[in-house]
Amino acid sequence: MKNTKRNVLLAQSGGPTAVINASIVGAFERSIASSDIDRVYGAKNGIVGVLQEELIDLTAQKRETMEGLKYTPSSGLGSCRYKLDKDIHTPDYKRIFDVFDAHNIGYFFYNGGNDSMDTALKLSQYAKEIGYPINIMGIPKTVDNDLCGTDHCPGFGSAAKYINTTLVELSYDINVYTAGTVLLFEAMGRHAGWLTASAALSSLEIYDGIVLTYLPEVPFEREVFLSQIEDAYRKHKQVIVVASEGIKDKDGELIAAQEGKVDQFGHKQLGGVCIQLKQIIEENITKRAKLIIPDLIQRSAAHYSSSTDMNEAYWMGYKAVDYALEGKTAFMPGIERLSNNPYVWEPKLVPLEDVANHEKEFPTEWITPEGNFVTKEAIDYVRPLIEGNVSIPERNGLPRYHKLDKTLMPKRLDDYEVE
């Protein structure tokens, strides 16, 4: 349904990325250019902010702030990891639409990963059931690159660029010594090894040695791992091991799962797989094992983000509004790759039901028979996504990032407790 002079509400959810705010800026700029839209609001801390009616008037922000937000890492509006009940007749749904109605919201955009697309889909289903006139769209993001329906996800390219740059620089560091070194680097990726696989690019530029990758898609076997590292250490002296945080054994058990600890979605919390791998190597191969756990650093390193990634993130936000203005709802904009070299892509429309609660794993046909590296097809896939540098504004020699004025709009409803 096409709405006339109604308001837009933008929200972010899940883990941050280096370019997630570029999507918000893209959606904002397309919205304020439309004669069908009155104001553009932001929800503080995702769907939790909607439930608590904590809304920010983005239209009233300083122009400098909104322009600078594009180059600012992490989630400018704030994030959450709140999962709506499967039953759309629970109180949260009515509350969300009471907030929408109180603030004349005709367009809602949720910028996030798998669980965020699930939220957007459920809200679309509820809107249809009650006949509420609203267009709801997802906007993709995740460094894990595991969303279905799109060639890749905004956020992945910049994280991959940072990881590969770091590995190249580390290779120069460890090669100053005469003794050999095994360097262990832990990459994000609970179920999908896209970031770990991307590290293969660094093998083209490292000072010397070899890069080996261990993905969740390949069952981890201790003895096979030891044999491969020992052989590589003997032949190359310098060995860089990149392992996904979510590697698991043949029974599907996570190597680094913390006993009894789960997150808000019931996922087992991971405890540092490379700490365990380092111990195995020190006990069996060499004491010169170095540990690198970048953790959060790899996902919000805007100072070395990819211009390809930032540009695509912006256009995903822009096209989400475009599609909504055409009357689309319960969709997500995605990326259709047309060519690797030269790299060419175009936006496409993806039904949320094809994205929500699905996970795109790394293709097993792109993994070498040994299970510890990837094929040329994988390298060709990643290469264009890390290209180009972003010129980050500076102040006092440091990045000049921007914070939104999060002064909340006056509430029109009673308070609501979020469990």
pLDDT in tens, 137-191: 999 999 999 999 999 999 999 999 999 999 999 999 999 988 999 999 999 988 8
- Residue 198 is predicted with a pLDDT of 98
Same domain, 292 and 311: no
Same domain, 293 and 160: yes
- Distance separating alpha carbons of residues 181 and 238, to the nearest angstrom: 5
pLDDT at 322 over 90: yes
411 within domain boundaries = no
pLDDT in tens, 224-242: 999 999 999 999 999 999 9
Domain count, the chain: 2
The predicted model gives 52-62 an average pLDDT of: 98
- Distance separating alpha carbons of residues 416 and 51, to the nearest angstrom: 7
What pTM, to 2 d.p., does this model score? 0.94
User: Catalytic residue among 92, 144, 146, 322, which?
Assistant: 144
Same domain, 112 and 174: no
The predicted model gives 396-416 an average pLDDT of: 97
Same domain, 187 and 285: yes
pLDDT in tens, 72-119: 999 999 999 999 999 999 999 999 999 999 999 999 999 999 999 999
Same domain, 49 and 117: yes
383 within domain boundaries = no
Other beta carbons less than 10 A from residue 101's beta carbon: 13
Same domain, 12 and 116: yes
218 within domain boundaries = yes
Give the Å distances, CA to CA, from 365 to 228, 277, 362.
20, 26, 9
376 within domain boundaries = no
The predicted model gives 323-348 an average pLDDT of: 98
- Residue 256 is predicted with a pLDDT of 82
Alpha carbon 344 to chain centroid, angstroms: 22
Query: Does the annotation mark 144 as catalytic?
Result: yes
76 within domain boundaries = yes
pLDDT at 121 over 90: yes
350 within domain boundaries = yes
Same domain, 56 and 128: yes
Same domain, 331 and 245: no
pLDDT in tens, 6-42: 999 999 999 999 999 999 999 999 999 999 999 999 9
- Distance separating alpha carbons of residues 212 and 158, to the nearest angstrom: 21
195 within domain boundaries = yes
The residues with which 8 forms a beta bridge, in sequence order, are 40, 107
Indicate which CATH number applies to the domain containing 112: 3.40.50.450
Same domain, 295 and 252: yes
- Residue 15 is predicted with a pLDDT of 94
Provide the percentage of residues in the chain whose pLDDT is more than 70. 95
316 within domain boundaries = yes
pLDDT at 404 over 50: yes
Same domain, 49 and 86: yes
Same domain, 185 and 114: no
- Where does the pLDDT of residue 2 fall: very low under 50, low under 70, confident under 90, or very high at 90 and above? very low
pLDDT at 318 over 80: yes
Indicate which CATH number applies to the domain containing 202: 3.40.50.460
Residue-range definition of the domain harbouring residue 176: 156-299
- Residue 259 is predicted with a pLDDT of 46
pLDDT at 271 over 70: no
Same domain, 334 and 254: no
- Boundary of a domain, candidates 258, 280, 299: 299
Report which residue type is found at 182. Answer: V
